Structure 1
Amino acid sequence: MAVCYGVVIANALLGGQCLKAMYLVVQPNGEMKLFEFVIIFGCLLLVLAQFPSFHSLRYINSLSLLLCLLYSASAAAASIYIGKKSNAPEKDYTIVGDKETRVFGIFNAMAIIATTYGNGIIPEIQATISAPVKGKMMKGLCMCYLVVIMTFFTVAITGYWAFGNKANGLIFTNFLNAETNHYFVPTWFIFLVNLFTVLQLSAVAVVYLQPINDILESVISDPTKKEFSIRNVIPRLVVRSLFVVMATIVAAMLPFFGDVNSLLGAFGFIPLDFVLPVVFFNFTFKPSKKSFIFWINTVIAVVFSCLGVIAMVAAVRQIIIDANTYKLFADV
């Protein structure tokens, strides 16, 4: 539940950043701050969060997949285009910082990777609630990692190739030439690709809100009443709205997208993706303690548990560093 909520917060922040980028295309000298755009994105989530179930989100999920493919292809194509321009930013692939910063940066990066490439685990788990479990889980895994390879991998590789160690967590921000304050690509392209991202992020946030909603509504709802009865609608509306408002406030207060991703990976996705599955396998199927599968699972659980703890320390350290640099509701 905490992991799902963390994803909602991260999406609210990233959605606000994309809205701000769209605003600056239209109003280059605009004075609106990042937290205002986070609030606007939160208002969109407030409406979408009222969808009653996962089943009612099926069309939004399909749209989300299409948008993910569109903006990933756009980001990759733009990175390649910019990287080949004569006035392209200088590419520097060295790792910056002192030894301590580099070491913590490695673990920080591992946690971010776990979040980025492992965030499909929650919907996959949710899909196994009803039978048949095995078939749906396999289909979900195959689809998840196919999309990851087509989208995130492509953007990561092309973005790093084009911008080196200057590549930002939101790659679209690299499309602005810092020296001339002009974009390397047409402004309509910047507006459109950020629009794709905003719409996709809103869909993802709603999907990750749904497990939280299901848990809470199993407590506050009256199963003897109809789903859309006043008795069930009012508590659902209040609870869902409250959670969206809280996520929006946190996102506006702490606008450190990379740091949030890192903490999510260390706290949530590393255990969910690498530790708990092998532990549950050993407990469920009880392989012999002399067998290879038992010990390889044990080693994986121990290694990634240690990695998760170290990554959590690295994530908290980075948040503290950034908190000293930026103030609450910072316009970054």
Structure 2
Amino acid sequence: MQSTIRQPAARNMMRGLLLCYVVVISTILPVAVTGYWAFGNISNGNILQNIFSEGGKQYMPSWSFILLNILILVQLIVTSVMYSQPTFTVLEEPLYYSKKPMTMWQGILLRLASRCIFTVFATLLAAMLPYFGSINALIGALGYTPLVFVVPKIFYLCVFKPRSGGLERRLIYFTLAIFSAISFMGCVASVQQLVMDAKKYHLFANL
């Protein structure tokens, strides 16, 4: 997003996107492929639980396990700041502008208090629902997949209007059908997993 500040914005954004895709594909995809190759269907949704065997044996060195936890913490902090910022803005604006103008320190304390309360509530909710991963899968199937893979193609069709019957339009329709089907199957599978989890787990279950 910062690439759009300087011109040419379109070229800078494309370079940024390509860099992001290269980093993601080169780091996450090999882990996913090798992890499924090693563990198959018994692979757990929580990567940390895949590190230990049923007997408690650890498959990786202790220093690597500690580093993994640190990197997960850093990622959670970054993603929470990115994705929660709109929520913070909506929640804080009525408080921030409800009275006379606040001083800088009053604004800092207000933001610190509201964001700490939000974080505590989100953490409590995650701890309360041991099948939180299944809920995330459902949210991803309903929101992430259509938003990333379906909606942009619809926008492209509306804006650029590729030639009817041409290869480009057919290819777009084909990918639309594929990702729509993936989203639907993801929703069905997530709901099924939630039903199975609800029968198996209870609130604040120690997994």
TM-score by length of 2: 0.77
Alpha-carbon displacement from aligned partner over 1:190-222 (angstroms, at most 9, x marks no partner): 333323322332222222222433555567655
Query: Would the aligned equivalents of 1:263 and 1:316 in 2 still touch at CA under 8 Å?
Result: yes
Query: In the alignment, is residue 178 of structure 1 matched against residue 57 of structure 2?
Result: no
Superposed displacement of residue 292, structure 1: 3.7
* Amino acid paired to 2:71: F
Bigger RCO (CA 8 Å, 6+ sep)? 1
Distance 1:197 1:261 in 2: 17
Which residue number in structure 2 is paired with residue 251 of structure 1?
Answer: 126
Distance 2:171 2:12 in 1: 26
TM-score by length of 1: 0.51
Which residue number in structure 1 is paired with residue 38 of structure 2?
Answer: 162
Distance 1:160 1:290 in 2: 39
> Quick one: structure 1 residues 190 and 151, their matched pair in 2 at CA, closer, same or farther if it must change by over 3 Å?
same
- Residue correspondences, number: 204
Distance 1:292 1:286 in 2: 13
Query: Would the aligned equivalents of 1:176 and 1:184 in 2 still touch at CA under 8 Å?
Result: yes
SS in 2 for 1:311: helix
Query: Would the aligned equivalents of 1:127 and 1:136 in 2 still touch at CA under 8 Å?
Result: no
Alpha-carbon displacement from aligned partner over 1:39-89 (angstroms, at most 9, x marks no partner): xxxxxxxxxxxxxxxxxxxxxxxxxxxxxxxxxxxxxxxxxxxxxxxxxxx
Query: In the alignment, is residue 194 of structure 1 matched against residue 69 of structure 2?
Result: yes
> Quick one: structure 1 residues 299 and 228, their matched pair in 2 at CA, closer, same or farther if it must change by over 3 Å?
farther
* Amino acid paired to 2:204: F
SS in 1 for 2:104: coil
Superposed displacement of residue 295, structure 1: 4.1
SS in 1 for 2:45: coil
Query: Would the aligned equivalents of 1:262 and 1:315 in 2 still touch at CA under 8 Å?
Result: yes
Which residue number in structure 1 is paired with residue 191 of structure 2?
Answer: 316
Which residue number in structure 2 is paired with residue 331 of structure 1?
Answer: 206
Distance 1:131 1:285 in 2: 25
> Quick one: structure 1 residues 275 and 228, their matched pair in 2 at CA, closer, same or farther if it must change by over 3 Å?
farther
Query: In the alignment, is residue 134 of structure 1 matched against residue 18 of structure 2?
Result: no
Runs of 4 or more above 6 Å deviation: none
Q: What percent of counterpart residues are identical? A: 37
Larger Rg: 2
Distance 1:211 1:131 in 2: 24
Distance 1:140 1:243 in 2: 32
> Quick one: structure 1 residues 292 and 187, their matched pair in 2 at CA, closer, same or farther if it must change by over 3 Å?
closer
Query: In the alignment, is residue 206 of structure 1 matched against residue 98 of structure 2?
Result: no
> Quick one: structure 1 residues 153 and 303, their matched pair in 2 at CA, closer, same or farther if it must change by over 3 Å?
closer
Q: How does 1:9-28 map to 2 (within 5 A)?
A: none
Distance 1:312 1:266 in 2: 5
Superposed displacement of residue 326, structure 1: 0.5
Superposed displacement of residue 276, structure 1: 0.9
Unaligned stretches of 5+ residues in structure 2 = none
